[in-house]
Chains A and B, each alone.
Chain A
Amino acid sequence: MALETKQEQSTSQGPSDRLDERYVIAFGEPLAALRSPFAEAVAVTDEKGHGESLFALVCRRDMSFRLGTLKAIEAIEDANLLNVAAHGVVKRSESEGERYVIVLERPAGKRVVSGSDPTFRPFPEKTVLKTFLPALLKGLAALHERAVTHRALRPDNLFFDDADCQGIRLGECVTTPPGMFQPAVYEPIERATAVPAGRGVGTPACDYFALGVTLLALLTGRVPASHIEPEQMIRGRLEIGSFKTLTSGCQISSNAAELLQGLLCDVPEKRWGHEQVHLWLVGRRVAVPTGTRSTLAYQPFTFKSQGYLNRRALAEALAADGKEASRAIRDKRFLRWLERSLNDPAAAQAAASVLRGVKGFTGRKRMKDEELVGNLCLILDPEGPIRYRNIRATPDGMGPLLAEAMAEGPESAIEDVIYMLSSSLPVRAVDTKTEDDKKPASSMALFLRLRGYLRDPSRGFGPERCLYELNSGLPCQSPLVVKSCPMNAEGVLRALDAAPPKDAKGTDPVDPHIAAFIASGLSFTEERTIFNFSRSAGGLRKQRTAELGLLAALQQKTKVGPLCNLSRWLAARLQPVQESLRNRKSRRELGARVDALAAKGDLLGMLRLVGNESIFRQDNQGYREALIERNTIRATRHSLEEEGEHRWNLALEYGRQIGVGLAYLGLFASLSTLLISRMS
């Protein structure tokens, strides 16, 4: 059956060019002033609205966006935020497929600072502290109440709320991974050294740090520390603290300095939050935090001819040169330095345990030098990012980091992230973090699970599974469906149904991405039930039946309705199942029944049919009997054809015996006749 000639519209409804049947997305009308780094902005018309001004952000298909955050904030109506009106998948065009679109309230004014300007006109302190700060504080509070962070707070992501540039609103925070487009200076020191994609969701304290830097930038008219090299800025922050480094050379009032000192504190627990800033705003006295967490050593540890007193700075230096670092940390002087100079016997003990090759986390006898260094860096700087080769990432930033690596490569970057995930580093990082202690158990369980997935070569596991487990807002990246931007199993089924391939027989509808994407959305029990196929041994018949089983189970679970094109695709894939029947009549009948069910789009019916083992058992039994019968016939025929000589001898013998019999019969007849005639 030529599948391509039989394609038809399924009865199930796919995405249209309208969102929620009211928002018309004008993809042809870009709004450059409102675009986000990963999302273009376009105009929106609300057909059922009352003149509200809206715009839409069109998300990228190959990068994760913050779907969880989006769902958490969609109900918020706050005057200090760009409130979400709607979101979902919308058809852009036939050729370009579907995209995830977020419809937001359109700010009345322009951006507070243009993204391209390194310097700008400073705002008066009164405006910043009395107008901007309260608005930002309320906006952040509204987000934090719903347990989500903004992680994109910077001057170029603020909008004036009116044409007079009086009010201010926080820009969107959902189209890009958290913190990815924040310059390092806006990140607290424990995340500032992480690569942009790996900065993680963070905590409200991260937003308050960014608030402090944003206020400082607005007050001074430039990005703080923009006049010094980034490495120098990081080193300065590590050694003398963020507040001193960032405000160095800035003309700010003592009043503002007090606020900034509270917000730019390098110890997250001591950093000012909503309560302290609110009290400060109303004129109450609030204790200003001082110092950094990193205690200095009495004596420096010399690494590559440079002495380090600060443990965080040393961790950074060690991670920068893994080979040299692995030699340095194996030296007994390192442990002695930790114990005596740094006065941290616990760290010394943990480091000694790692160096002894304790298998507490990895279960492996040896770990790579880079992993060893990474572990030691986490002991030195428990709040810092995981440091592995060139990668610096927080545990909650691993998802976007993997998504970025898989979307943009190179292969070595993917390998590094995969190795990092399969190593002991994420689990140790979660275990040692004091900042992310809200759900350490679930995070640890997640990373332990991911390590299991990476070890499993079956479909539904591997790196792809990690990708979707860590990025709930990433559409399925399978080349078969990515154009349709499926965000869940139902979307995948619709996408598969909408665009069956030309080579239906040779195209696997459950490729590694689809399998992993579907599995990541299932509960443990569902996964065990539905995904058993990936581990099932057996020939092509069992594999194809299992494929069908997975998709049929999903069709039933999602209640997506008939899937005619996908059913035909799978019917074509089921040819090996039909061919596994030896009886030609049964095969034809099975094929006809599969085709009839495929025409109805009934995957479950098809599964019940081809999954019925008794058909195959009967066929097998019949085949064995037929084979025996045919072989017996052949042997008999052969013996009958080959035994000519023997047969002639046999015929000769029989013929003679018949002759003898007839002769005696003749004698008997002759005697009888004679006797009867004589007697009569």
Chain B
Amino acid sequence: MLLDSKIPEGPLAEKWDKHKFNVKLVNPANKRKYDVIVVGTGLAGGAAAASLAELGYNVKAFTYHDSPRRAHSIAAQGGINAAKNYQNDGDSVFRLFYDTIKGGDYRAREANVYRLAQVSVNIIDQCVAQGVPFAREYGGLLANRSFGGAQVSRTFYARGQTGQQLLLGAYSALSRQIAYGKVKMYTRSEMLDVVIVDGQARGIVTRNLVNGEIETHAAHAVVLATGGYGNVFYLSTNAKYCNVTAAWRAHKKGAFFANPCFTQIHPTCIPVSGDYQSKLTLMSESLRNDGRVWVPKTVEMAERVRKGQIKPQDIAEDDRDYFLERKYPAFGNLVPRDVASRNAKMMCDENRGVGSTGLAVYLDFSDIIKRTGAEAVSQKYGNLFDMYAKITDENPYEMPMRIYPAVHYTMGGLWVDYNLQTTVPGLYATGECNFSDHGANRLGASALMQGLADGYFVIPYTIGDYLANTPPKPVDTNHPAFAESKAYVQARTEQLLGIKGNRTPDEFHKALGHIMWEYCGMARTAEGLKHAKAEIQRLRKEFWSDVKVVGTGEEMNQALEKAGRVADFLELGELMVDDAYNRNESCGGHFREEYQTPEGEALRDDENYAYVAAWEYQGDNQPEKLNKEELVFENVKLTQRSYK
């Protein structure tokens, strides 16, 4: 299949405006004749559902949470980027575009990223108007801070809870439309299939998580805003419910899956403390503004720290290696996430890691505390320091934090064109569940930006273009395709309940996570990936003969929910490994050990791999087909990323 990205003609800066003029419109009186399903109510989904309802469409919104306010967007800490240039420090739409393309190691689509940078300024205005309490200066104007991968201060924030405040803004807009009756909200409903009628997405199948009922819902178009798949690693900074199921079912119904191996490992997370660990907690990247990352200079010294013979505070300045400042003097502790993560791993590989496991580096605030006082530091990062103290039982005001990289975000996702439409007509993907804007590495404070850009400012235009070409006839669930999808979902539920094996869904999930982290994590090799593929296939076989779920499908059954999600992760995991194996280069978060510069930096192969790998499902147990979208760079010059 030929992948048409539908990038509009014309100069970069004019594409979006021209496109907005060229897309077809649905007249105001006709909008109420169209139904749109939005799955997921995080930043992308909540913003899309509210905005589409405001335009007049009938929206049905779905979330597996008990309330649309709980989506994992809420946990984003640091901030949201926007090219406002309020700081007069040289920011512009082009610079945000450029930083994002470069930060993504030249594996993102220029036109999408430019549009993202353009609408970033509207997002801030919209959120302020909603009453989002952004941080402000004493003069009453909005405050900014800097973030990794950029040399300007363009990040807007609400203390360490930016995601929460932005999500509550979108939630309030959504709540208003629910009250007006323009959005019908379905909570505790998990999407388990997309229904395709005559080649077009026309509805979904859901399971009511309270009573187990399998329901069908019809619409003229379906928007997925179902987040990322980082939980394929079991341990990640994602919330426990985050999963790939909705996106994966869409994939099996014809939506291509792009760059699945592009996962982001976040450098500053609280290290694993035991086998019981259920998730990892992020310490916001904003901490790298003031915290200094270091390990002991020598292995001997590190050894003594690990054994608890000396405390980090007692190590003399001369015996510390501030490795990011040493290797990257220009960006220092603010290098992009992939670079910071990889360097932390290198230090631990050199046996200079700290903590009882040796899998940690220090993030030290003693300088800034000395300079500005503990009170000022608490003003900026208080809630993060408290969270750290609660989890580790250590006081970060007195001793440096221990941090280690952890899986955080997935740049890969459903392939979409410029209109955010997948390869299935009428099926759209927004926010983290699509692949479009971050290339091989996402910059900090850009996930919130993309989710809200897609939801508030892109999908309301582009979906109209599709609907204008769709007759406004009422849709219903009588078509046999709905019954077929429902039967498939029911059969799968019965199958999971019927195995009655010996191992729990969590045990399988942990085993999968271990394989993925070991072989498809921060560093990958062809040999390791081959091994991982065989291991995952073996594990999947075992899953379908030995998973244990009790109870029935007609009740609240959280083990059954987990089993279904793990089953999909087992299939996705194999595709990620295939994708990583196929990409014989290193770029961004994808680091193949075979391909590195003499200094150990990622070595891209632009001649052969400047493309999006879009995988096409071919049926159960069949190898997927690779389709390529060539990436054309007309406005930036591809260079080896340098943060030195």
**A interacts with B:** no
Chain A residues in the interface with B (C-beta under 8 A): none
